[in-house]
Amino acid sequence: MMSGTLTDTLTVQEWLADYRACRLTRSGETRKVEPKVIGLLFLLAREPGRVFSRDEILHALWPGVTVDADTLSRCVFKLRRALDDNPEAPRFIETVSRRGYRLMAAAGDREADILKRRADEHYFQFTQSENEAAIILYERALARNGRDTVALAGLANAFAQRAIRWLNLKPGDAPRRTMQEALESGVFVSPEGGKVLNEAHALCDRALSIEPESAQALKAMGLVLTALGRFADARQCYETALKCDPDAWGVLINLADIEGMEGFAAKALDLLERAFEIMSADYDRQSALIRPWHAALGALIADRYRQAGDKEGARRWYRRVLEHSPLHEDALRGLAEIPDVPER
């Protein structure tokens, strides 16, 4: 996965890192990073695959200086952004819950990395054909390394989405859009739905047996447990995943589903807004994964404000969606139905 002299330069897959110049280069593209950010990369690269504790990193990067955990979290966030690393399915920097961070070296198979990245891009489109393509690609990645926790979790997610959205639909039926719709349809208690969920659950079990604190596997297990109606267990999985990666917007959205279904509308709305802000901050770097969700999530937030009787909040969010996606139908329709109040 990496080569070079750690004192000056380092190659991490497609990236060339220059320590002295505080620079990352890829295919002619150059990105300047802060000294602490490049220092973090070089520190983790001393022993790829080993988990460096937070205290160890703080001592190495800020010797003799007292800094808080948020400072390190921001440094990790900046490094991920610089590397175009997706915290939902990391290729470079992995957060290990309650332990620290590591540079992912075990998955040094370049072809497997490409397969997983393509699978993620298909999965996040949330159409039936794209989901099935993701399943094929995750399975190909696992054929190369059956202990790849990211691929195991990705395949579990895709199996769960197959059941949630498309399984047992009648001709002419629209895909189910939400977990609540799927639960109310009874698809999960059908023989076909039960089989798919069992397969997804087994994949999550495998991933967590290999990496008990994998944020990706915990997120996938949370989705499966929600489908099984085990909301308390699912919530625990999601909360643990967020301790691993507070910026995991997919986890926040899934957790909001549970809060909403259990009647905690305010909590659900807060989680959705947090997810939207994280997605907005990272949109340009992860557009293939975020674009299918971004405007729809903003419109959903606006709808929730409207349902709560907060017309001004709804209007503000519909406009925010239209600033980014000027022709978004739900936002246009929603805004038109809440006209501005004329001044007196």
In the chain, where the domains are located: 2-103, 109-240, 246-344
Q: What is the CATH number of domain 109-240?
A: 1.25.40.10
Residue 88's nearest CA partner among 154, 160, 18 is 154
Report the distance separating Cα 189 and Cα 181, nearest Å. Answer: 14
DSSP symbol at 53: E
Helix 265-281, helix 249-261: angle, nearest 10: 160
Q: For the chain, what's the residue count?
A: 344
Under DSSP, is residue 329 helix (H, G, I), strand (E, B) or coil? helix
DSSP symbol at 187: G
Q: What is the CATH number of domain 246-344?
A: 1.25.40.10
Residues 6 or more apart whose Cβ sits within 8 Å of residue 218: 208, 237, 238, 240, 241, 244
10-residue stretch averages of pLDDT, the chain, 344 residues long: 49 84 87 95 86 92 89 94 87 85 66 85 94 96 85 96 96 94 97 97 94 87 98 96 86 97 97 96 85 94 96 96 95 90 49
Residues facing 102 on adjacent strands: 94
Report the distance separating Cα 4 and Cα 175, nearest Å. Answer: 50
Residue 83's nearest CA partner among 10, 167, 173, 3 is 10
Tokens, residue 311? 């017309």
Q: What is the CATH number of domain 2-103?
A: 1.10.10.10
Tokens, residue 104? 């992912």
Q: Give pLDDT, residue 329.
A: 96
Please indicate whether the domains covering 109-240 and 246-344 agree at the CATH topology level.
yes
Q: Are 113 and 91 in contact (CB under 8 A)?
A: yes
Q: Please report the DSSP string for 213-249 in residue order.
A: T-HHHHHHHHHHHHHTT-HHHHHHHHHHHHHH-TT-H
Q: Give pLDDT, residue 88.
A: 75
Helix 149-161, helix 191-210: angle, nearest 10: 160
Residue 41's nearest CA partner among 66, 68, 23 is 23
Q: What is the dihedral of CA 211, 217, 221, 223, to 10 degrees?
A: 170
Q: Are 40 and 31 in contact (CB under 8 A)?
A: no
Q: Give pLDDT, residue 110.
A: 64
Q: Give pLDDT, residue 16.
A: 84
Q: Give pLDDT, residue 97.
A: 74
Report the distance separating Cα 48 and Cα 1, nearest Å. Answer: 9
